[in-house]
Structure formats: structure tokens, C-alpha cells
Amino acid sequence: MTKATEKTEVVAPEVDADYGKPDTNGNRWRTEPVDGGRVRVHLITEDGQGLSVQADTEAKGKETLRDQLKGGN
């Protein structure tokens, strides 16, 4: 089960340093643990938009965020 995706506008450069190298689509990811064994997956898109979602696993969180990017929500 995932929670609603949180959108932010542009991510500050100092926060950007915490993310991994860009994937083939130019997206950068970061995952952190949260209470209850869940994770929060953060994404910075190539154009600087920040998104995050809380999910049961990193894979589910990434899938949710990718689906949101495709759907334009």
C-alpha cells in the first residue's frame, strides 16, 4: 500500500547532492527508512521537480512515482 505522492517544485542544489547518479531518464533517486518498516522514496526529475512517496518497499515506491510521471498527475 502506498500513500499519496507529495509534490514539490524545485529542489535546492545542496539537497540534490544526497541523490544518486541520474538513471537513463535523467531521474535521481533517494530512499530512506520510515516508521513501521516502510520507506520514503524521493525523486528529482531531469527538470528539477521533486516528488516523494511512502511505500512498503523501494521498488513499489519507484513504481508509483514512475506511474505518476507517465500519467502526468
Contacts of 17 (CB under 8 A, 6+ apart): none
Asked if 50 and 42 touch (Cβ cutoff 8 Å), the reply is yes
The yes-or-no verdict on residue 9 having pLDDT over 60 is: no
pTM: 0.73
Higher pLDDT, 11 or 37: 37
Query: Does residue 22 or residue 7 have the better pLDDT?
Result: 22
pLDDT in tens, 18-60: 788 899 989 999 999 998 999 999 999 999 889 999 999 999 9
Q: What is the dihedral of CA 10, 16, 21, 24, to 10 degrees?
A: 0
